[in-house]
Each structure stands twice: as C-alpha cells, then as structure tokens.
Structure 1
Amino acid sequence: MSFPDHWDDGTQHHVHWYDERTAILRQPLRTNFEAPFLYLLLGRDRALLLDTGTGHIPLRPLVEQLAGDRELVVAHTHGHGDHVGGDGEFDSVVGRSVEDVAEYFGIDWPHGSGTIDLGERIVDIIPIPGHQGADIALYDRATRLLLTGDSLYPGRLYVKDWAAYRDSIRRLAAFVADGNSVEWVLGAHIEMTNEPGRDYEMGADEHPAEHVLQLRPGVLAELAGVLAAAGDQPVRIERSDFIVYPV
C-alpha cells in the first residue's frame, strides 16, 4: 500500500494502484486546473467509481479496462461540475440529489449512514453536507481509507453552509473515533504546497512543490476541533494542511 512520489501531468489520467483492488486516478492539471482525484474500488462482484472528473478527457475506456468484467457503480462525492463532468460517458450513474443519494445507499439523511457491498468489500457511506448539499464521505473497511471529496483535502475547503459543515465534520470525526480506524484521509484535490499553510493561487495550472494527497486521520480531528472552537459565525481558518474558506 503506497502513494506515488509525484503525480504525472500528462495528457491522460495518472493511474496509481494503492493496492491490488484500489486505484487512484488523477486528471492532469494541463487538462483542467481542478485536477480532481477519482477513486476506483474493486470488489469480487462490483466496482465503485467515485466521481468522473471534469469531462475534458475520456474516462470510460480506462475505467472499463481497470474494472474488468465487474458490474460498475458510478457515484459522486458531490454534484459539482468537476466531479460529474464525465457522467455522460456511462450508461448509468447514481443521481446527484440528496434524495437520489439517500435512496440508493439506504441513508436516513443526514444523521444516518449507509453501505454498499461490492462483494467481499463493504464501504460505509456517511452524509457530510456543507460544501454542497449532497456531499458524502466513504469509509472503505478493507483498506481503512476515508474518502472525503471536497470536504477535507490539502487545500481550500469551500464552505457554503457553515452550520451543516460544522455538524458534518463533527459527525465524521465521531464516526472515526467510534472504532472505525482510518489509515489515510484522501480528498479530491491538492491546492496546498509542501510549505505549511501556503496554497496555490486560484486557477493555478502548475503545482510546483505540491503537498501530498494523503492526510493522517489526526487532520480530521484537527479540523473538527477548529470548527467547534470557531462557533456559529463563518470564519476563515488557516492551518498547515488546509484552509477553511466560507463562501
């Protein structure tokens, strides 16, 4: 189980196998400054693709090659354009609304949780609205990876609904503390440099000295703590690995 030393900025997705059943795909910066990360989790029977990127480069042929003959489920961390842009390539995707997500995964939104069984691989689905209305985090029991989309990553954490976001991060931290140990927290972007607290300019299409993708679980606890201390009024918060950015 490993991460690359750097992410290639070519013309096609950089595919990194975290282990033999977990692929991390990054869309290159040169195709779109968002450079989102996508995740492909392989079970015995089904494969789960999390997010489809901006749609600027083909995705389906690559995913089908990686997933083999498994049934493919395409879902999203949330419904913003840089995460759903490739949806049109696929025959079927999980809907983007709160109602669609809750129904598909069997979630009592937002305080419950759901699961998806890929075949000898169970993934927990936790609602975490705040960045956008239908945000989810995924906890893979097999690898103990926590996939957090745009709600936590090395970068600017844009918060639309402050109260919902604070509650979501509190609940997510409680989920981890309640016996669901996390090896790494993996988000959907990198916007920080490897200099603590320093981010790239918005829209930057080059990322010299980039922060690593993976965050230790303590960063989630740190985020929950600073949000709790901040109180009810939205406020910008700068830390080494993230910047809370109310919008």
Structure 2
Amino acid sequence: MPATDDASDWFSRETVGRDITRIWEPYVHAYFRSNIFHVRGRDIDLVIDAGMGLVPLRPMLNLPGTKPVAAVATHIHVDHVGGLNEFETRAGHREEAAFFADMADEHTLAHLFRAQPEPVRRSPDGAWSPRSFQVRPAPLTQILEEGDKIETGDRSLRVLHFPGHSPGSIGLLDEGHGEFFAGDAVYRGRLIDDLPGSDVQAYRKTMQQLLQIEFSRAYCGHGEPIDQNELRSIARAYLDSTS
C-alpha cells in the first residue's frame, strides 16, 4: 500500500454551490468515503462533517485566520467525525452528545473501518496502520436540538433531527437559499439502516419528514448533490421497501 507523497493529495474538492465546497477522501474505502462541506459565511465559516481524520483537514480548507469557524457533525459515525477535534467550536445533536467525549468504537463504529481488508487504497503516511487507528475525542462545545438555528451572518440554517441511520442524525436546512445539508439521512444508493443504533421505524418517520421539506439542492453525506425530486423518490422507495 503506497503512502501519499503530499498530504494535500489526500483530499479532492469541488465547488458545488455559492460559497460551498464539497471535499472528500478518494483513497478511503468507498463505504467510508463521506463528504465534508465547507460553507463560507459572512461572519462565520461552517465545516459540516469532518471526514476520517487520517490526514489533517483544517490546513486544507484555507480558512481565514481571523474569522470564527464552527464544525457541525451530522452524526457520530467514524467517517464524519475523524477530524472534528481540529476545531475549537464543535456542534452535534443532544441524542449523541455524550459520545463525542471519548469516541468509543461502539458509537463511532471505527472497528468496522479497521476490519476492512483494504480500508484505504493509499496510506496517508508511511507509518500509518489500520490496527492503530482511533478517532480522537472531540467533546461538543454546542449541543443542538430540533429547530435550533446556526447563523453565519448571511445564512440561517435550521437543525432538523433525522433519527434512523443513527439516533442523533441531523440535517441543516437553509430555507433562504433553498439548500439542504442532509448528512446520512438520504443519499444515492442503498440507505444504511442495519448498523448498531439504527432504527428502521425511526428511519421511516424521517423519510416521511423528508417528503415535506422544500428546497432546491441537497448536499448529502455521501456522493453527489441531488435535487428535491430525486430526494423524494429515494424517500418513497425506502418507505415502499420497508412497509
């Protein structure tokens, strides 16, 4: 397994919306290859999810030195919280808040990543070993509830609780711009509802809630952005498959 020659090569990125960059880790196993979103706000920048933490994330964001930055975890799973400890302001849902303090395998499911025959296609550095991989603790500095608002100065994002994939899964809805950060509540492909902590009946209620949300573009925890019609099609298909 070759190592990366330059840490900057570990991440890929693309602009997906006004002041929104999608970042991902192309060498990570596809199951754990999640999206990180950097939302540049007038007063505060947001980092929504934080990848695996195999290579430092913060230096790759070109963050302004004087502007505050807040990191929001859409849920506790390893592929979304690995780099969360790099940020001083860290937010997540109350249902999973206690888990961020120790990042135990039973909650992050990091052991599932370590157990993969090939967890990465390219080593993040020459000394890295999946056997020694651990998620660094990142106690929350802000606990989020359904209906809370996250303000950037030119955006207002409403917190929506979407249990099912995990107990504390959330999304962030920017109604003013018609943009929706969906986390792992919904994305293209098979929705994962059989992990420890998953709950099919709760997920069904989340799908019913998703059918009511109005937006133009959804930024999902995995894969490409989708529009409202595609999201609703995914939600209906899940409801049909689990009825």
Q: Could you tell me the TM-score, scaled by structure 1's length?
A: 0.68
2:171 corresponds to which residue?
A: 137
Which residue in the other structure is 1:199 paired with?
Answer: none
The runs of 4+ residues in structure 1 deviating greater than 6 Å are none
Pair 17,228 (structure 1): closer, same or farther in 2 beyond 3 Å: closer
Q: Per-residue displacement from partner, 1:79-111 (whole Å, max 9, x unpaired)?
A: 10011011222233224642648x733x3xxxx
How many angstroms does 1:119 deviate by? 0.6
Residues in 1 aligned to 2:92 and 2:238: alpha-carbon distance in whole angstroms: 30
Counterpart in the other structure of 2:43:
45
The one-letter amino acid of 1:224's match is: A
Structure 1: which amino acid aligns with 2:165?
A: H
Q: What residue in structure 1 maps to residue 217 of structure 2?
A: 184
CA contact (8 A) 2:75 2:96 kept: no
Return 5+ residue gaps in structure 1 as ranges.
Answer: 1-9, 191-212, 233-247
Could you tell me how far 1:37 is from its partner in structure 2?
0.8
Residues 27, 231 of structure 1: CA spacing in aligned structure 2 closer, same or farther, 3 A cutoff?
closer
1:121 equivalenced with 2:160 (yes/no)? no
Q: How big is the shift at 1:227?
A: 3.8
Structure with the higher fraction of residues in helix conformation: 2
Between Structure 1 and Structure 2, how many residues are aligned? 188
Contact conserved, 1:46 with 1:119, CA < 8 A, in 2?
A: yes
Summarize the Cα distance change of 1:162–1:20 in structure 2 as closer, same or farther, 3 Å threshold.
closer
Q: How far apart, in 2, do the equivalents of 1:96 and 1:138 lie?
A: 11
Structure 2 match to 1:15 = 13
**Counterpart for residue 143 of structure 2:** 104
Sequence identity of aligned pairs in percent?
A: 26
Q: In 2 relative to 1, CA 230–20 (structure 1 residues): closer, same or farther, beyond 3 Å?
A: closer
Q: Which has the higher contact order (CA 8 A, sep 6+)?
A: 2
**Could you say which residue in structure 1 is the equivalent of 2:233?**
222
Aligned to 2:59: 61
TM-score (norm 2): 0.69
Which residue of structure 1 aligns with residue 75 of structure 2? 78
Q: Distance in 2 between matches of 1:32 and 1:230?
A: 27
